[in-house]
């Protein structure tokens, strides 16, 4: 008999503190009533505020973990977190889509940990448009959009990336309308406003938001509604305690 909940896969780094990466994604999937699977792209050593090291797993090791899951379960949405470089990511996406041509992919392009530790240093290059055309949604913050597009102005950067896929430009670091995310779908831009101003920071907040969107998409919601519901989820997590590791629950 099939499971009643939709199956969602996270391919992300293992952060043993559980604040970011795979463990945070699985907590989110579970709270949002999905059946969550997790494949490690890297093993990190860190706490909520101190990043010590990252050991990248080779593409073959990521594929070896994914294959039995994709064969056994009807995964419809995949969230991808930290990856070693763009060409590995493109190869992985091509392979995932050969397995499952209809799969929706949400990529959270984590380029550095909030403590400053650099994870990937991409620039605008030939691989990027090809890669972006294969995904459903990219969820950059301002800095990530600037680095990926090669443009300094954040709205221009997001518009350039939106030529290739849907973009959720996160407003946490925005200079104006702080906290408001902007969803770019083609030439349309939609503001997703925060429920509250001045929300405290948490380790892994981008991971939680992107995995909540992936869960909402797997539940069958349209993209804009998925982003709005996911924002509510992350806001509940951000205000769940006074520390950097969120408690997860549905408000
Ligand atoms: N994903 C993983 C596996 C990480 O280890 C990290 C951060 O260290 C992140 C994502 C990004 O989380 P944050 O921006 O809170 O550092």
Q: Pick from 76, 65, 68, 62: which is nearest to 8 by CA?
A: 76
For 60, 114, 207, the CA distances from 104, given in Å and listed in that order, are 21, 27, 17
Rounded distance from Cα 5 to ligand 1 centre (Å) = 27
**pTM (2 d.p.):** 0.97
Burial (CB count <10 Å: 0-12, 13-18, 19+), residue 112: middle
Name the closest-CA residue to atom 8, ligand 1: 113
What local confidence, expressed as pLDDT, does residue 178 receive? Answer: 83
What local confidence, expressed as pLDDT, does residue 176 receive? Answer: 75
DSSP state of 112: B
Question: What confidence tier does 173 reach under pLDDT thresholds 50, 70, 90?
Answer: confident
What local confidence, expressed as pLDDT, does residue 132 receive? Answer: 98
Over residues 42-62, the mean pLDDT reads 98
Distance between CA atoms of 215 and 105, rounded to whole angstroms? 11
Rounded distance from Cα 20 to ligand 1 centre (Å) = 5
Beta bridge partners of 169: 182
CB atoms within 10 A of CB 2: 7
Distance of CA 212 to the CA centre of its chain: 9
Residue 214 CB–ligand 1 contact under 6 Å: no
Residue 109 CB–ligand 1 contact under 6 Å: no
Counting ligand 1 atoms within 8 A of each CB, the residue from 11, 110, 114 with the most, and so the one to mutate, is 110
Which ranges constitute the DSSP H helices of the chain? 21-31, 59-72, 86-99, 127-132, 142-149, 154-161, 205-218, 223-238
Distance between CA atoms of 194 and 85, rounded to whole angstroms? 32
For 25, 53, 113, 178, the CA distances from 213, given in Å and listed in that order, are 11, 28, 21, 20
Residue 13 CB–ligand 1 contact under 6 Å: yes
Q: Which residues contact 64 (CB under 8 A, 6 or more apart)?
A: none
Rounded distance from Cα 26 to ligand 1 centre (Å) = 14
Residue 36 CB–ligand 1 contact under 6 Å: no
Rounded distance from Cα 204 to ligand 1 centre (Å) = 5
What local confidence, expressed as pLDDT, does residue 125 receive? Answer: 87
| Tens digits of residue pLDDT in 55-101 | 999 999 999 999 999 999 999 999 999 999 999 999 999 999 999 99
Contact 107, 139 (CB under 8 A): yes
Residue 57 tokens read as 């797993």
Rounded distance from Cα 109 to ligand 1 centre (Å) = 10
How many CA atoms, within 13 angstroms, populate the side-chain half-sphere of residue 128?
A: 16
Distance between CA atoms of 203 and 248, rounded to whole angstroms? 13
| Tens digits of residue pLDDT in 193-249 | 999 888 999 999 999 999 999 999 999 999 999 999 999 999 999 999 999 999 999
Rounded distance from Cα 190 to ligand 1 centre (Å) = 27
Number of residues in the chain? 251
Name the closest-CA residue to atom 12, ligand 1: 204
What local confidence, expressed as pLDDT, does residue 174 receive? Answer: 73
Residue 204 CB–ligand 1 contact under 6 Å: yes
Rounded distance from Cα 82 to ligand 1 centre (Å) = 8
């Amino acid at each position: 008999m099939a499971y009643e909940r939709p199956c969602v896969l996270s391919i992300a780094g293992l952060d043993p503190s559980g604040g970011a990466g795979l463990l945070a994604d699985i907590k989110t999937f579970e709270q949002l009533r999905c059946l969550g699977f997790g494949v490690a792209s890297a093993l990190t050593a860190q706490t909520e505020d101190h990043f010590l090291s990252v050991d990248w797993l080779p593409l073959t090791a990521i594929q070896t973990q994914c294959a039995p899951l994709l064969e056994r379960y009807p995964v419809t949405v995949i969230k991808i977190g930290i990856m070693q470089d763009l060409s590995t990511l493109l190869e992985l996406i091509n392979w995932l889509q050969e397995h499952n041509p209809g799969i929706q992919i949400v990529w959270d392009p984590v380029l550095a940990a909030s403590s400053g530790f650099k994870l990937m240093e991409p620039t605008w290059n030939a691989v990027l448009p090809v890669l972006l055309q294969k995904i459903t949604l990219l969820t950059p913050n301002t800095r990530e959009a600037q680095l990926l597009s090669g443009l300094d102005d954040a709205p221009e950067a997001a518009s350039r990336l939106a030529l290739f896929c849907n973009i959720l430009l996160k407003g946490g670091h925005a200079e104006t309308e702080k906290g408001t995310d902007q969803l770019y779908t083609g030439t349309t831009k939609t503001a997703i406003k925060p429920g509250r101003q001045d929300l405290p920071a948490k380790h892994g907040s981008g991971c939680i938001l992107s995995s909540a969107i992936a869960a909402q998409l797997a539940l069958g919601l349209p993209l804009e509604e998925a982003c709005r519901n996911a924002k509510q989820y992350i806001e509940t997590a951000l205000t769940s305690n006074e520390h950097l590791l969120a408690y997860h629950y549905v408000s």
